[in-house]
Chains A and B, each alone.
Chain A
């Protein structure tokens, strides 16, 4: 039976589906990812790090290889500095809730995801002070504004590497360099936390060269792993004694003690890790390394240019962001005049088999920044497997919808005009 989608009563073969929702999660996955997961379940299976038999050691090796792959991709100083969890949200909660205390100050931006803003707002009620630095309406951030917001009690600067709404890339390395350059001893420079959910695997990241102290990633987007994988890379400037774990429990190490281990990665990895997921993640990251992040980026940049240029040429369509593919990821937000994003989304799905995400994208602050709150936008997010032909087909679809609304508005105006005319006449 050929694979197909069956929404309602019609069927679309999967190879005719246009999947433009890669910022939510990437699809399809490289076949190696599925193969690695099947192999783990069928042939390795045991609990990594819990027992001493060879199947357990093999499972532990699978998890360790995931650490190595992540460390290689982001140039982490040591695979043991890679801590896994279920996703970026969990890693962000670990960092924010584990590091911040009442009286501490945090600087963040106005394009953050709720995975950052909600933990921060909850911490604010407990006495943590927050400064949200405004980004420009195209999503860009001026490092000088971050610098100006830093105070003597600032312990973290938390920045989205790229907005999941407009794709704009924030200058995290410049922020790191400027913050450290103006550091006045004996005050320690605040740590830089980067939410790379949207960029990991799609934009080059080097934690050491970029000055990133805590890099948060999710496995299921541009790293091409399965859902339920993610984590963080912990830099050497981070005081582990200060960073509390989110969870405590069994680690397979120091079992004779009832105290949580204080070393990496065990301190932050209680409970059996998602080994089957990490088997898939390793395959995804190895796939990325084989293509090369630069090559993936170049390809996505070209597709993004085609998409942005095509959308801007359609009357009634507004595109948000920098409009410059060199300064953003392959995520493009737009709206069609006179048509609600929800209606655009439904019609793209039902009439054209285009999968995209509409609305606020879990990032109300980002929509306020670009001026699209509370209506939201239509978001096309391309991935490593999309093609120019798909972009062209999607542009045709948007053109059709925009044409429909123009006709609709036009005839509505004519009706109103006639009604007004008759009223006057009567």
Chain B
């Protein structure tokens, strides 16, 4: 199983909060953290997930309609 975290970049804080709720409902752990500076100059938050969950996470987010700007390993 892949170790470590990935961050999912979404459009804005509102989208990040919607993502967080949907992932919690799906039983996938996540945390909203500031966007790491080396990934984007944006000032908001992104969704940190376990790398191992990535596929499932993206599926959930697509189902609830949270647009994804990018996924990065950290």
Contact = CB atoms under 8 A, between A and B. Distances in A.
Interface string B1-37: 0000000000111111110000000000000111100
A52 interface: yes
Given A57-B32, A78-B65, A263-B67, A52 B44 contact: yes
B43 interface: yes
A88 B47 CA distance: 33
B17 A60 contact: yes
A64 interface: yes
B63 interface: no
Interface residues of A, number: 26
A266 to B, nearest CB: 5
A254 interface: yes
B49 interface: no
B7 to A, nearest CB: 11
Given A51-B34, A57-B32, A266 B14 contact: yes
B12 A266 contact: yes
Interface string B30-74: 001111000011111100000000000000000001010000000
Nearest to B33: A52
Nearest to B12: A253
Given A51-B34, A52-B35, A255-B41, A61 B12 contact: no
Contacts of A61: 17
Contacts of A79: 14, 18
Interface in A43-67: 48-53, 56-57, 60-61, 63-64, 67
Main SS of the interface on chain A? loop
B72 to A, nearest CB: 15
Contacts of B16: 60
A265 interface: yes
Given A51-B34, A78-B65, A57 B45 contact: yes
B14 A60 contact: yes
Given A61-B17, A64-B18, A79-B18, A49 B12 contact: yes
A125 to B, nearest CB: 36
A253 B40 CA distance: 11
A63 B14 contact: yes
Contacts of B44: 49-50, 52, 252-253, 255
Contacts of B34: 51-53
A265 B67 CA distance: 13
A56 B12 CA distance: 13
Interface string A254-283: 111000010101100000000000000000
Contacts of A255: 41-44
Nearest to B69: A254
Given A52-B33, A255-B42, A256-B41, A261 B14 contact: no
A80 B13 contact: no
Nearest to B34: A52
A67 B18 CA distance: 10
B41 A67 contact: no
Interface of B: 11-18, 32-35, 40-45, 65, 67
Given A56-B13, A56-B45, A80-B14, 5 more contacts: A53-B34, A252-B13, A253-B44, A255-B43, A266-B12
